[in-house]
Amino acid sequence: MTPETRDRLTKVSTATLCTALFKRGLRHQMIQGVLPLNPGLPNMVGEAFTLRYMPAREDRNGIEVFQNRAHPQRKAVEECPPGAVMVIDSRKDARAASAGGILVARLMQRGVAGVVTDGGFRDSPDIARYAMPAYHSRPSAPTNLTLHEAIEINGPIGCGDAPVFPGDVVVGDAEGVVVIPAHLAEEIAAEATEMTVFEDFVQEKVLEGRSILGLYPPTDEHSRTDFAAWRTARGR
């Protein structure tokens, strides 16, 4: 992802990105059912670095496993690249935590762009105060060992019913998280940027009292000329 693409993606919404993906036949890229713990932050943007959990077998998941420095959960936290987004496949099961405040703090401190699970985080009140975006389905206090064993780092996964490949571009806003296939990131970012300019124009006109018919989409000629003029005036 180029710096320009990253920059553009911080300024568009997941809703607009979903529409650009829909136009290309991609209908399942939104991670279903996750919300931000800290919705006031700027957009989360980064390449996906993934962690996959499987159901925990009790004899492999005693509290002592974390004595092992190579435990995949801890290893993933130390290896996730700065600027990336850690995406965790928790099989949509939030009955036990995907991670907690200390690991999320470590990700933040290492410069990671954000963290997403389709399960839940523990220490969620702490995480909600951090400056790094985090998304989950609901708070979940029980330790991950209760139900989840970290089994694979940076392979292809599902998260909230969306397909996620390492390197895909992940964008989050106050509404949720969308996954853009790596090879489409640049063109989607460009298209969404253009769409956002037009939607800002439409939003303004609608709030001034104009009908959406002929304006959204701009099937009326004068909608297109008005937009051209507005755009020039705003320098966008």
Tell me which residues in 121-150 interact with a second copy (CB under 8 A): 122-126, 138-143, 145-146, 149
Cα–Cα distance, 72 to 1 (Å, whole number): 26
Task: Give the Å distances, CA to CA, from 103 to 109, 110, 136, 190, 230.
Answer: 10, 11, 15, 34, 47
**Number of C-alpha atoms within 13 angstroms, CB side, residue 115?**
33
Using the contact rule CB under 8 A, the part of the chain among 2-10, 188-196, 215-223, 226-234 near a second copy is: 215-223
Q: Does 216 bind a second copy (CB under 8 A)?
A: yes
Could you say which residues in the range 176-205 bind a second copy, by CB under 8 A?
176, 178, 181, 199, 202-203
Using the contact rule CB under 8 A, the part of the chain among 2-10, 52-60, 185-193, 221-229 near a second copy is: 52-60
Q: DSSP state, 158?
A: E
Q: Would you say 168 and 47 are in contact if contact means Cβ atoms under 8 Å apart?
A: yes
Using the contact rule CB under 8 A, the part of the chain among 4-12, 41-49, 56-64, 186-194 near a second copy is: 56-64
Could you say which residues in the range 105-124 bind a second copy, by CB under 8 A?
105-106, 109, 122-124
Cα–Cα distance, 56 to 157 (Å, whole number): 17
Q: Does 11 bind a second copy (CB under 8 A)?
A: no
Looking at 4, 7, 22, 236, which residue binds a second copy (CB under 8 A)? 22
Whose Cβ is closer to a second copy: residue 3's or residue 129's?
129
Whose Cβ is closer to a second copy: residue 3's or residue 58's?
58
Whose Cβ is closer to a second copy: residue 126's or residue 186's?
126
Q: What is the CA radius of gyration of the chain?
A: 20
Structure tokens at 30: 């939104």
x-or-dash pattern for a second copy, window 60-99, by CB under 8 A? x--x--xx-x----x--xx------------x---x-x--
Cα–Cα distance, 60 to 39 (Å, whole number): 36
149, containing H or E segment: strand 148-153
231 contact partners, CB below 8 Å, separation of at least 6:
197, 201
Cα–Cα distance, 117 to 114 (Å, whole number): 11
Q: Does 222 bind a second copy (CB under 8 A)?
A: no
Number of shown-chain residues binding a second copy (CB under 8 A): 85
